[in-house]
Chains A and B, each alone.
Chain A
Amino acid sequence: MGKVLMKGNEAIGEAAIRAGCLNYFAYPITPQSEVAEYLTKRMPEVGGVFLQGESEVAVAYMIFGAAGAGERVFTTSSSPGISLMSEGISYIAGAQCPAVFVNIMRGGPGLGGILPSQADYNQATKGIGHGDCRMLVMAPASVQEAVEMVMNAFPLAEKYRNPVMILGDGLIGQMMEPVEFPDHLKTEPSNKDDWASNGMDHRKRSERNLVRSLFLDPTALNDNNLQLKAKYDQMKKEEVRSESYNSDTDYKVLIVSYGTMSRVCRTAIDALKEEGIDVAMVRPQTVFPFPEQAVRDAAQKESCKQVISIEMSMGQMVEDVERSVRGGKPVHWFGKCGGDVPTPEEVVDVVKSLIN
C-alpha cells in the first residue's frame, strides 16, 4: 500500500489496528476526539471492539480489564483526561499488564486550553501515578512517526508487561501528512497464558491466574517493586531512541527538542546555517528512557559552548537535559506554553542571543 494523506489522530487509530490491536475504549476530549470518531466506524469493519466509556477514570479500568484478560488494548486522550487515567495507569503498572496510552497534549494546568502543548512531560516521564511506576514514553515528531511508534508500542508493552505511552502534542493529532503503515510492524500478540486472567480452560496449566497490585506483605511488595525497577532499568538499556540533526558540524549551540517543537527547531537550524551559524539538535524519540548519553556526548563536543532545551512548556525537559549534561556546559531553556507555539524566527533569535 502506498502513501495516504491522513490526519494524525485518524492515522493513530488505523496504526493500532494495523499493529493487531482490535480493542479500543475512550472518552472524548479535544484535541484527539477524531481517534474515537474514526474507530467507531473502523472497529466494526475489522471485528474489533469500540466502546465510549462514561469517564476517563472508567476507561482506564476498561483498559486494565481487557489487558488483564490478555488482549491487546489501547486508549487515547488529552492532558486532563490522562490525569484522570493516571490512577488506573498506576494499577496497570503495579499489576504488570501491557497497555498503550496515547496522550495528545493540550495546554494546562487545569482545563488550560485545547491548543498544542508539551506540558505533560513531567507527568508522563516521572509522575504518571502514585507509587514507583513508570511508562515507556515515545514522542513522535510527525504523523508517520506517530504511526510507527503506535505500531511498535504494542509489542513493547508486551515485552515489558507495562503501560507504554505515545506522547504527542495537539499538532501531531490535528495535522494531515502522508503516511504508510509498514507491514513489518504488524506483530502477533505474545502468549499471555502464564499470567493473564483469560480463563483457565484456555490454558495448559491447571492453576488459576491473578491480576493484582495489592501486596500486603512488605516482602512481596518489595519483590514486585524490584521487578518493576528491573524492567525500567532494562528499558534504559534497550529502548532509548534519539535522532541527531546537523551534528557533524562544528556547532556552537546544541538544541534538545522533541515532537512538533523539534520540527520548528529544524527549520530554525536550516535558517541559521544559511547565515553561516551551525547549530545541532538532539531529538529524543523516547523521553522515558531519556537519551542521556546522546545528549551528553553531543554537549561534550569541543565546539559546543551552549546547550538549550526548547519545549512547549515552562521548562520541564530542561531538568533531564541538565542531568544529562552534568554541568559540563551551560544549559538554557526556551519555551512557551500551550497554544503559543514558538516560530522558527523566535528560535533563531534565541539561539543568536546565546552566541552573542
Chain B
Amino acid sequence: MQNEIMFAGFGGQGILLIGKILAHAAMEEGNEVAWIPSYGPEMRGGTAYCTVVIGDRPIGSPIIKNPRHLIAMNRPSLEKFAPDVKPGGVILINTSLIPVDSGRTDVDELKVATVDIAKEVGNVRAANIVALSAFVARSGVVTMDGLRHCVEVEFSKKPKLIPLNMKAVDAGEKVAKKTS
C-alpha cells in the first residue's frame, strides 16, 4: 500500500514545510517515506510544490505522475494538478484563494478557507498548518496525535509558536469533520 500526497501553492505559503511535517509523522508511525521537492527553475518563480510518498515497503519511484491526494493552496496548482489525482483521493481546496472547484466527481473534495481560519486562531501564517491538519483528519494517512507531535517538534526551536499552531491543528481537524 502506498500513498502519495502532493502539496502545491505559492512560494512562501509553507508548502514544503507541511510536506516535511507529514513525512516526519508518517516516519514516526513506522512507515517508509520520501519527501520529494520540486527544485527546478519554478522554485525561483514563485510556485512551490512537493510530494510525500508513504508506504509499507521501500519507496520506489520518486517520480509521481498520479498522486493519491492533493493539497492545492492556490488556483494554478489546483488547475494544474487536480486532473492527475487518482480516483477516490482527497483534493483539499484552499477556498481563501481559490474560487473554483476541482471539476472532479470521483474524488473527495475538501474545501477549507485556510487563511480565514488561520486569522481566527491568531495568525494568517498558520494557514498551511490548518490545511495539513484538515487533510490528515480527512484522509487518515497519519494519526492526529502523530501529527500534533510532529508539529510540536517542528516548532520546538520557536516554542512561542507552538500554542498558535496547535490551535491551527484543532481548527483544521474541526473543519474537516464539519464538511465531511
Contacts and interface: CB of A to CB of B under 8 A. Distances in A.
B23 interface: yes
Interface stretch (B59-67, B68-76, B171-179): B59-67
A266 B23 contact: no
B36 A174 contact: yes
Contacts of A263: 59-62
B23 A344 contact: no
B33 interface: yes
A344 B39 contact: no
Given A175-B35, A178-B33, A3 B27 contact: yes
B62 A5 contact: no
A236 to B, nearest CB: 29
A108 interface: no
A264 interface: yes
A3 B33 CA distance: 11
Interface in A312-346: 339, 341-345
A344 B27 CA distance: 24
A164 interface: no
Interface string B63-106: 10100000000000000000000000000000000000000000
B63 A343 contact: yes
Given A5-B24, A5-B27, A174 B39 contact: yes
B40 interface: yes
B27 A170 contact: no
A156 to B, nearest CB: 25
B27 A343 contact: no
A263 B61 CA distance: 5
A224 B63 CA distance: 46
Contacts of B20: 5, 176
A114 interface: yes
A339 to B, nearest CB: 7
A171 B62 contact: yes
A264 B23 contact: no
B65 A177 contact: no
B90 to A, nearest CB: 22
A270 interface: yes
Contact of A114 (B33, B40, B61): B40
Contact of B33 (A170, A174, A177): A177
Interface in A4-57: 5, 30-31
Contacts of A31: 39
Interface string A136-170: 00000010000000000000000000000000001
B65 to A, nearest CB: 5
A267 interface: yes
Interface of A: 3, 5, 30-31, 113-115, 142, 170-171, 174-178, 260, 263-264, 266-268, 270, 339, 341-345
30 contacts: A5-B20, A5-B35, A30-B39, A31-B39, A114-B40, A114-B41, A115-B39, A115-B40, A142-B58, A170-B39, A175-B34, A175-B62, A176-B23, A176-B34, A176-B36, A177-B34, A178-B32, A260-B62, A263-B59, A263-B60, A264-B61, A264-B62, A266-B60, A268-B61, A339-B40, A343-B61, A343-B63, A343-B65, A344-B61, A345-B65
Given A177-B59, A268-B61, 4 more contacts: A115-B40, A175-B34, A176-B35, A178-B27
